[in-house]
């Protein structure tokens, strides 16, 4: 058995009192720290119209962190494929693969990554984009695959590139599709935990080997805030809790500063909803965090953990990243 690998999902958060330039610089620093602490991959996510997220032009931000690192895998967690023509994504990620050979992952999602009005501005035809998702994945794989005969449509760069395609999701639909296509699969349990266990079972039971993968490979997302004490970690995590309250209220705002207490900042119903969505979060001192992580691995048996660090201060965020990296010592992949 091997120790469980850790990876990072970074949303390039634009914190209160910070600029987009600050957020992008912080992502660069996070990627360098993740590489130094032995994380396997560093992913960025596509979100649109959100004042608290700077990674809308995801492939450009991936190039930004790729230029600051040397060995860690870089990629998307994910690209919302229905927002784009598959050939455009093949060209973007083919370019990334040429710049950073052997290091690029392409995680694909079906959700819009924004509100419906913005999604319409991006997609124009929402229904067609969602319905054609499986076909769009296969078209994208074609463009990233071996160079075709003369006269065929070709993505340049893209054709013949070494880009690892993943499927991402938060539903049983994505579990069925990842299994049918024989792709590595990452579940968004960091904000949508309800169907995680069933999705793992479906994916593993129904997996069909493919040219990309001969056996199922499952990752799961969690949020984390690790600090010297439980109280400090809980305080740092109030930024994420406030952000989720804002999302439920449809309030668009930068990523909030932490507060001493959430008392008075959420209703009882909002507290229940946020704590339910974030129930897999690893928040606490290293000892507390290790116990919670061990319980998560025992429950899920996932092959890899992808951690998001929703912490306002970049110094505290990098420290949390470092402390979390040490939690895997002795924790094994039991899948």
User: How much is the pLDDT for 274?
Assistant: 97
Residue 25 has pLDDT above 90, yes or no: yes
Are the C-beta atoms of residues 19 and 319 closer than 8 Å to each other?
A: no
> CA dihedral defined by 187, 190, 193, 198, rounded to 10 degrees?
20
pTM for the whole thing?
Answer: 0.93
Q: Which residues contact 74 (CB under 8 A, 6 or more apart)?
A: 31, 41, 42, 43, 62, 65, 66, 96, 100, 103, 104, 105
User: How much is the pLDDT for 163?
Assistant: 94
pLDDT in tens, 230-285: 999 999 999 999 999 999 999 999 999 999 999 999 999 999 999 999 999 999 99
Calpha distance 293→278 (Å, rounded): 14
Residue 215 has pLDDT above 70, yes or no: yes
Residue 93 has pLDDT above 90, yes or no: yes
Residue 88 has pLDDT above 50, yes or no: yes
Q: Which residues contact 187 (CB under 8 A, 6 or more apart)?
A: 168, 169, 170, 174, 175, 196, 199, 200, 218, 219, 220, 221
Domains of the chain, first to last? 6-328 (3.20.20.30)
Return the closest-CA partner of residue 310 out of 1, 4, 9.
Answer: 9
Q: Average pLDDT for residues 223-233, to the nearest whole number?
A: 98
Calpha distance 62→55 (Å, rounded): 9
Average pLDDT, the chain: 92
Q: Which residues contact 161 (CB under 8 A, 6 or more apart)?
A: 93, 94, 97, 98, 104, 144
User: How much is the pLDDT for 154?
Assistant: 86
- Strands, DSSP E only, in 201-290? 218-226, 282-284
Residue 227 has pLDDT above 60, yes or no: yes
Q: Which residue in the block uniquely carries the two structure tokens 């990233």?
A: 144
Per the document, the length of the chain is 335
User: How much is the pLDDT for 335?
Assistant: 45
Residue 1 has pLDDT above 50, yes or no: no
User: What kind and span of H or E run contains 164?
Assistant: strand 164-169
User: How much is the pLDDT for 125?
Assistant: 61
Q: Which residues contact 272 (CB under 8 A, 6 or more apart)?
A: none
pLDDT in tens, 106-129: 999 987 655 666 667 666 565 655
User: How much is the pLDDT for 158?
Assistant: 86
pLDDT in tens, 300-331: 999 999 999 999 999 999 999 999 999 977 66
pLDDT in tens, 35-63: 999 999 999 999 998 999 999 999 999 99
């Amino acid at each position: 058995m091997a120790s469980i690998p850790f990876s990072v999902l970074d949303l390039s958060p634009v914190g209160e009192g910070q600029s987009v330039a600050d957020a992008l610089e912080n992502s660069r620093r996070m990627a360098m720290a993740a590489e130094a602490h032995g994380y396997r991959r560093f992913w960025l996510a596509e979100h649109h119209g959100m004042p608290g997220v700077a990674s809308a032009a995801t492939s450009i931000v991936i190039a930004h962190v790729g230029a600051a690192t040397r060995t860690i895998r870089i990629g998307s967690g994910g690209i919302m494929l229905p927002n784009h023509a598959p050939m455009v994504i093949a060209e973007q990620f083919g370019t990334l693969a040429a710049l950073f050979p052997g290091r690029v992952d392409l995680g694909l999602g079906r959700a819009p990554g924004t509100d419906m009005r913005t999604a319409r501005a991006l997609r124009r035809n929402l229904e067609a984009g969602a319905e054609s998702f499986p076909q769009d994945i296969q078209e994208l794989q074609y463009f990233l695959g071996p160079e075709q005969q003369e006269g065929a449509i070709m993505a340049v760069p893209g054709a013949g590139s070494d880009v690892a395609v993943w499927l991402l999701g938060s539903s049983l639909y994505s579990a069925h599709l990842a299994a049918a296509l024989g792709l590595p699969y990452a579940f968004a349990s960091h904000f949508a935990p309800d169907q995680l266990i069933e999705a793992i079972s479906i994916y593993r039971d129904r997996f069909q080997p493919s040219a990309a993968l001969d056996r199922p490979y499952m990752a799961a997302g969690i949020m984390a805030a690790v600090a010297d004490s439980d109280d400090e970690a809980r305080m740092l995590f109030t930024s994420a809790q406030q952000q989720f309250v804002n999302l439920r209220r449809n309030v668009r705002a930068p990523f909030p500063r932490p507060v001493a207490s959430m008392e008075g900042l959420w209703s009882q119903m909002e507290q229940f909803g946020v704590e339910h969505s974030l129930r897999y979060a690893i928040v606490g001192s290293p000892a507390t965090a290790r116990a919670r992580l061990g319980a998560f691995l025992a429950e899920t048996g996932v092959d890899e953990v992808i951690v998001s660090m929703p912490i306002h201060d970049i110094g505290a965020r990098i420290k949390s990243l470092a402390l979390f990296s040490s939690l895997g010592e002795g924790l094994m992949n039991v899948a």
